[in-house]
Structure 1
Amino acid sequence: MTMLIRTLATAAAAAVLATGAFAQSAGEVRNPPPFFPIKNEPAPKLIVDPPLPEPLARGAVLIPYRTENFRILPVFGAAASNVSPRVGHLHVTVDDSPWRWADTGNDTNTIIVVGLPPGQHKVKLELASPEHHVFTGQTVTFTVPETGSHPH
C-alpha cells in the first residue's frame, strides 16, 4: 500500500510540474501581486474603446476600458498613495458637466451611462490617485441615436 501511495504522489507531483511549465503564470496575465513594491513603476496608462454599437443603438452607452500599471480600487487618502503597484480610481465626466463621479472598480472595466438624450455626447475618463491627482485621461465622443421608445 505504501508503494501505491508513493507512486500516486510522484505522478501527481509530475503532473503539477508539467502543467506549470506550459501555463502562463497569473503575474504574466494580470497585475503583479500587491505584496511587494515595484521599483521604478512605469507611468499608468488608460486605454478606452468607443461605446459598444449594439447597446448604443438602443440608447445605452457602454464604454469599455482597461488600465496598465494601475489598479482601480475603492481606496482614498494619502496613505493609499504609497501603495505599489499604483492604485486609484476613475473620474467620469459627461458632456463637460460641472460634476463627475468616481468609478472605484466593478471588475467589468466598462462605464455605463443611460438616459442621455439623442445627439452628440462625450464622456471623459481620467485615472486619478487616491488623493484625486489625475495621471492621464481620454475623452470618447459618440452620438446617441433617436430610438422609438425609452430603453429602460
Structure 2
Amino acid sequence: MTMVARALATAALLFAGTSLHAQTPHEVATQFLPIKNEPAPALFVDQPLAEPLANRGVAIIRYRTENFRILPIFGASATDVSPRAGHLHVSIDALPWRWADAGGTGAIVLTGLPPGEHKVLIELATPVHEVLGGKLVKFTVPPVGGAQH
C-alpha cells in the first residue's frame, strides 16, 4: 500500500468514527469514564419469596439496583467508574457484624435462621464502604416441620 493510500485509508476510518455534531457525555461515555450529573443510585428490595420461607424456612430476598452496579471492586481508585459501582452491606437483626456482597446475583439467600421475626438491612456501599442508602426487610421464619433449624 502506498503512503498516500495509507493516509487516505486512515483518514476515512477516522472520519467514519467521528460524528459531525457535538456529542453529549452520554454519547461518548463508556463504563470506564465518569459521567457528570449521573442520576442517583437506587436500591429496590422485595420481601422474601413466600414458598421457600413457608416450606423450608429459607429467606430468598430479591433486589435490583438502578444507576449502580454490584461488582467486586474496592478502594478509592474504583470510585470514579460509571455507572457507579460498589457492593452491598448486609446486616441481620441489628447484630454488630455484617458482610459485603459483591456478587451481584440479584438475591440474598439466608438459611438456618431460627423461627421467629427477623430484620435484614441491605445497603448500597461504594468501593470505599460509604453507605449510599439502604432498605430494611422484616419477615417471620415459621417453624419448619416442627423442628428448630
- Identify the TM-score tier after normalising by the shorter chain: 0.7 to 0.9
| Residue 113 (structure 1) aligns with | 110
| Residue 62 (structure 2) aligns with | 64
1:39 aligns with 2:40: no
Deviations 1:53-80 (A, max 9, x none): 0010110010000000000000000000
| Residue 22 (structure 2) aligns with | none
Distance 1:150 1:89, change over 3 A: farther
1:95 aligns with 2:121: no
Query: SS of the counterpart of 1:82?
Result: coil
Compute the TM-score of the two structures, normalised by the length of structure 1. Answer: 0.74
The Cα RMSD (Å) is 1.9
| Residue 131 (structure 1) aligns with | 128
Query: SS of the counterpart of 1:92?
Result: strand
Equivalent-residue separation in structure 2 for 1:56 and 1:142 (angstroms)? 9
Compute the TM-score of the two structures, normalised by the length of structure 2. Answer: 0.75
Deviations 1:28-51 (A, max 9, x none): xxxx85144322111110000000
> Who wins on radius of gyration, i.e. which is larger?
2
Percent sequence identity is 63
Distance 1:150 1:62, change over 3 A: farther
Equivalent-residue separation in structure 1 for 2:47 and 2:146 (angstroms)? 23
The Cα shift of 1:151 comes to: 9.7
Structure with greater proportional helix content? 1
